[in-house]
């Protein structure tokens, strides 16, 4: 039995004929929300990358592409906001997800709060089939799993990271064995396609949330994908940053007057590396590129299924990444993590294979976030800027959207597209009102509404008010910096010393926002994510040799 047959059988996928397909499409659109994991702003071809992403590039060419779309700086806070339309602290995931991160405060429960209604719960009430495949990472205890929070069907991983070849898969709320030839990016798509076919048989519109764990570490890719990129990165990260920046300017994604941010001070100078170091780091980036390439191939499988069923024109497809590219750990990344995988090979030949467990590090992450500063977990632009592509032939035409949007806006956007009203209660108890606003007016050519946006993650703070952005870094004393991000989005010209009154005014606004959404003072001891087994696998054992 091959992998796809296994998934179809295990997930009880139903094969349907052309007649069923023809009758499945109602006036309400299908909704397909696809998320990448730890993918940088510049990692797609349509955002300046050299990585082959023809399927996402095609969606971008025929739809709306946002240049100022914001996330919440890390995987699980962004996912909490995406699912609830709330800031992560309001949703109960102000820091991380999992029992170890329950800090006894409303904003830091380590799972979605009970007084939230998810997009799946809301759309299911409105008559949609609700489907999910992939990474959950917003709770793993009783009552916290996808099928407990509104999803009719689920297959994926519950936690933040996984061995791509040997994941800990769940179907519904039960652990299952891995299929033959398991590779998570492919397996999640197999499940998603099966769920889509089930929904056509039921003649219902569906909401599909396909949350890839790629390209989050560990660097794991199929050999044929790696081979495409071997040697491509021998010139190093500085050259890559410059190449991507030039393409971004040509595409109109960045203002030519914004200079490329300087190389991250903690990144390495490529010229200082030995020949062996350069060879090793070039291969790490080749594996990363292969992971993005494979992700795009699977987006293509979803689009092909929509085309074959006649559903593409009346399906809103949204693609984004959950945060900026990941700097972990150090300028060269880690070569092994015994906490996650015992006896992992660090041999050059094994990089990217099931024998390895490594990351690409801060220097390549700096290139992934071109042209911006810093990385995942920070609230400078490199940490909180995501590519966002929206494609809906029946409603959206090709355009570049320059106004700001935020992940809290995705739930109201999809609800408006579906003609569904937000829920006012869950299990007979009131729920919080959605914070976000629908992006459909912007995606169809309108102006972005005037509003302010707030961030806090691990003590890193930011406040966006009009063209101005106030931002601070916890491990550098949390001194406020001020930038005009319309004139200076690469955050090079700090205006704080020239405008102390504006800094004070905006800082007070951030403090009021923090009190309202449940931000707690951050402590230095909290600043490192604990390497606990449950972070990777709730059933114990961070990996297998």
The pLDDT > 90 percentage for the chain reads 86
Residue 333 phi/psi, 5-degree rounding, is 75, -175
Q: Give the pLDDT confidence score for residue 340 in this predicted structure.
A: 80
Please state, in angstroms and rounded to a whole number, the distance separating the CA atoms of residues 514 and 107.
Answer: 10
Rounded Cα distance between 204 and 126, Å, is: 11
Q: How far apart are the first and last CA of the chain?
A: 25
Q: Which residues of 187-200 are buried (b: 16+ CB within 10 A; e: fewer)?
A: bbbbbbbbbbbbbb
Q: Is 326 a catalytic residue?
A: no
Confidence bin at 341 (pLDDT 50/70/90)? confident
Residue of 89, 95, 111, 137 marked catalytic:
137
Please tell me the predicted confidence (pLDDT) of residue 525.
53
Tokens of 411: 């739930």
Read off the pTM: 0.93
Query: How far apart, in whole angstroms, are the C-alpha atoms of residue 320 and residue 386?
Result: 6
Domain boundaries, the chain: 3-452
Nearest alpha-carbon partner for 305 in 55, 5, 52: 55
Confidence of residue 178 (pLDDT cuts 50, 70, 90): very high
CATH architecture of 3-452: 3-Layer(aba) Sandwich (3.40)
Q: How crowded is the C-beta side of 443, counted as CA atoms within 13 Å? A: 29
Q: Residue 207: phi, psi to the nearest 5?
A: -110, 120
Q: Is 72 a catalytic residue?
A: no
432 pLDDT above the threshold of 90: yes
- pLDDT of residue 469 exceeding 60: yes
Q: What is the mean pLDDT of residues 273-295?
A: 99
Q: Please, where are the H alpha helices in 398-476?
A: 410-418, 440-443
Residue 19 is predicted with a pLDDT of 32
* CB within 8 Å of 525: residues ≥ 6 apart: none
Q: How far apart are CA 233 and CA 286, in angstroms?
A: 7
How far apart (Å, rounded) are the C-alpha atoms in residues 179 and 163? 14
Set 46, 75, 76, 326: catalytic member: 75
Helix residue ranges per DSSP H, 163-204: 184-202
pLDDT band at 449 (very low <50, low <70, confident <90, very high): confident
Instruction: Read off the pLDDT of residues 42-52 as tens digits, 9 standing for 90 and up.
Output: 999 999 999 99
What are the pLDDT digits (tens) for 223-282?
999 999 999 999 999 999 999 999 999 999 999 999 999 999 999 999 999 999 999 999
Q: What share of the chain has pLDDT > 70, as a percent?
A: 91
The helix (H) or strand (E) run that includes residue 249 is: helix 237-251
């Amino acid at each position: 039995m091959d992998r796809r047959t296994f998934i179809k059988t295990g997930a009880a996928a139903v094969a349907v004929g052309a007649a069923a397909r023809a009758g499945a499409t109602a006036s309400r659109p299908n909704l397909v929300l696809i998320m990448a994991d730890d993918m940088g702003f510049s990692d797609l071809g349509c955002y300046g990358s050299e990585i082959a992403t023809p399927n996402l590039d095609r969606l971008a060419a025929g739809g709306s592409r946002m240049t100022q779309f914001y996330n919440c700086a890390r995987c699980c806070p962004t996912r909490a906001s995406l699912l609830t339309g709330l800031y992560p602290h309001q949703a109960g995931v102000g820091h991380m997800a999992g029992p170890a991160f329950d800090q006894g405060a409303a904003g830091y429960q380590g799972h979605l709060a009970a007084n939230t209604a998810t997009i799946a719960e809301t759309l299911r009430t409105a008559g949609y089939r609700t489907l999910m495949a992939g990474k959950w990472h917003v709770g793993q205890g009783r009552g916290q799993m996808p099928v407990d929070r509104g999803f009719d069907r689920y297959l994926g991983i519950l936690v933040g990271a996984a061995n791509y070849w040997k994941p800990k898969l769940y179907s519904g709320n039960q652990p299952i064995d891995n299929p033959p030839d398991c590779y998570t990016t492919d397996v999640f798509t197999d499940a998603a396609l099966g769920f889509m076919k089930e929904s056509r048989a039921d003649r219902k519109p569906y909401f599909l949330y396909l949350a890839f764990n790629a390209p989050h570490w560990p660097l794991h890719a199929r050999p044929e994908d790696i081979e495409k990129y071997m040697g491509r990165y021998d010139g190093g990260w500085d050259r890559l940053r410059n190449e991507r920046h030039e393409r971004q300017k040509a595409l109109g994604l960045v203002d030519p007057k914004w200079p490329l941010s300087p190389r991250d001070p903690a990144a390495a100078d490529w010229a200082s590396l030995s020949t062996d170091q350069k060879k090793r780091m070039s291969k790490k980036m080749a594996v990363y590129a292969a992971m993005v390439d494979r992700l795009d191939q699977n987006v293509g499988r979803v689009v092909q299924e929509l085309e074959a069923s006649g559903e593409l024109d009346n399906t809103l497809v949204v693609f984004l990444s959950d945060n900026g590219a990941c700097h972990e750990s150090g300028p060269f990344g880690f070569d092994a993590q015994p906490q996650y995988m015992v006896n992992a090979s660090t041999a050059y030949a094994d990089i990217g294979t099931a024998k390895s467990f490594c990351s690409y590090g801060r220097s390549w992450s700096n290139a992934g976030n071109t042209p911006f500063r810093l990385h995942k977990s920070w609230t400078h632009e490199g940490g909180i800027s995501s590519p966002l592509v929206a494609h809906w032939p029946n409603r959206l035409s090709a355009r570049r959207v320059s106004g700001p949007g935020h992940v809290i806006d995705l739930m109201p956007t999809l609800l408006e597209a579906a003609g569904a009203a937000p829920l006012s209660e869950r299990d007979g108890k009131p729920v919080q009102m959605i914070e976000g606003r629908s992006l459909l007016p912007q995606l169809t050519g309108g102006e972005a509404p005037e509003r302010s946006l707030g961030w806090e993650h691990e003590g890193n703070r930011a406040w966006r008010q009009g063209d101005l952005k106030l931002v601070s870094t916890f491990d550098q004393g949390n001194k406020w910096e001020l930038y005009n991000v319309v004139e200076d989005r690469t955050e090079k010209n700090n205006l704080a010393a020239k405008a102390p009154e504006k800094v004070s005014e905006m800082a007070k606004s951030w403090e009021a926002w923090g009190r309202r959404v449940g931000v707690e003072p951050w402590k230095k001891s909290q600043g490192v994510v604990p390497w606990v087994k449950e972070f990777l696998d709730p059933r114990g054992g961070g990996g297998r040799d």
